[in-house]
Structure 1
Amino acid sequence: MNGIVNLYKYFQYVKVIGVWVSGISLIGMMFFIVIDVFMRNVLSNSINGGFEIVQNYFMPIVVFPALAYAYSSGVLPKMDLVLEKMRNNLKLVFIFAMLLLEIFILLLMTMYTWDYAMTGLERKMAFPAAGTLYPIYPLFFIIPISFALIIVENVFILIKNFVEKKPTFQFMETD
């Protein structure tokens, strides 16, 4: 189990990098919006295509890279209230079933979003903003990568439950 814990520590670095990417994008989006509002109110001219740029570039980069970290932190709702009433061996079976179901659904989501990203790459998908086409297809790859990271997190949790026989929805317990 020590090898798995060490591997998970490296995986945590990947998740923290995702949080940093999301945080930097959030700060960039805030500055972009502040500059756009300032220009609109003071200079009577806004950034051309500003809304579309925020919507299609900043928003996905704010949300998806940090998704695996948010999932692993325990802030997303789980079946904790139901589990409290069960015996440990029944909890373990329930958690195995839930994790396998989540992995299956996330695998489907990863596959379909990867297919969509590849289609976007083939078609060189873009969005119009202020009369110019901006490429959007590179951002499509962030989505399946974030789902794949959640799958990896679930596999770590599944292994921990299998090895330790202690029912839990988190690999590392948070205080």
Structure 2
Amino acid sequence: MKGVLSVYKYFDYIKIIGVWISGISLIGMMLFIVYDVFLRNIVENSINGGFEIVQNYFMPIVVFPSLAYVYSSGVLPKMDMLIERFKNKTKMFIIIGMVLIEIFVLILMTQFSLEYALNGLEREIAFPAAGTLYPLYPIFFFVPIAFGLIIVENIFILIRNLIEKQPSFLFKGEDKK
């Protein structure tokens, strides 16, 4: 388990980088919106295409890079309240089954979102804002990367549950607070 923990430490760094990317994007979005509101109220002119830029660039970059960290933190709802009523062997069986189903579904989501991103890259999908076309296809790649990181997190959870006797939906168990 120590080797898995050392590998997971590096994976934690990747998740923290995603949180930083999301945080910087959130700050950028706030500054962009504040600047737009300032221009609209003081100069009586706003940033042309500001809404589209926030919608198509900032919002996806706020959500997707930090998704693996949010998933691993345990704040997303699971069936843990129901599962706590079972014995450890039953809990282990249910948790491993659920993690395997999640991995399967996430693999499909990753595959389809990667195909969509590659299609967008091939077609060079863009969005119009204030008479200018801005490329949208680079943002599409955040989605399969986020789902891929959640798959890796689920693999760590699966390994933890196979090695240790105490079943858990989290890799680090209850000490991850």
Would the TM-score normalized by the shorter structure come out above 0.5?
Answer: yes
Whether 2:92 is the aligned partner of 1:96: answer: no
2:78 — aligned with what?
A: 78
Structure 1, residues 150-172: CA drift from partner, whole Å, max 9, x if none? 00000000000001132100011
**Secondary structure of the equivalent of 1:128?**
strand
What is the correspondence of 1:1-175 to structure 2 with a 5 Å cutoff? 1-172=1-172, 173-175=175-177
Taking structure 2 as the reference length, what is the TM-score of the superposition? 0.98
Q: Which runs of 5+ in 1 are unaligned?
A: none
Q: What is the letter of the counterpart of residue 164 of structure 2?
A: E
CA distance in 2, matches of 1:85, 1:92: 12
CA distance in 2, matches of 1:166, 1:159: 12
Structure 1, residues 91-118: CA drift from partner, whole Å, max 9, x if none? 0000010000000010000000000000
Q: CA deviation at 1:126?
A: 0.1
Q: CA deviation at 1:174?
A: 1.5
CA distance in 2, matches of 1:137, 1:30: 23
Structure 1, residues 121-167: CA drift from partner, whole Å, max 9, x if none? 00000000000000000010000000000000000000000011321
Percent identity of equivalent pairs: 66
CA distance in 2, matches of 1:94, 1:80: 10
CA distance in 1, matches of 2:118, 2:166: 40
Out of 12-21 and 76-85, give the one that drifted further. Answer: 76-85
Q: What is the letter of the counterpart of residue 16 of structure 1?
A: I
Q: Runs ≥4 in structure 1, deviation > 4 angstroms?
A: none
Q: What is the letter of the counterpart of residue 174 of structure 1?
A: K
Taking structure 1 as the reference length, what is the TM-score of the superposition? 0.99
**Secondary structure of the equivalent of 1:171?**
coil
Q: CA deviation at 1:120?
A: 0.2
Q: Number of paired residues?
A: 175
Q: Which runs of 5+ in 2 are unaligned?
A: none
CA distance in 2, matches of 1:6, 1:144: 25
- The RMSD of aligned alpha carbons is 0.6
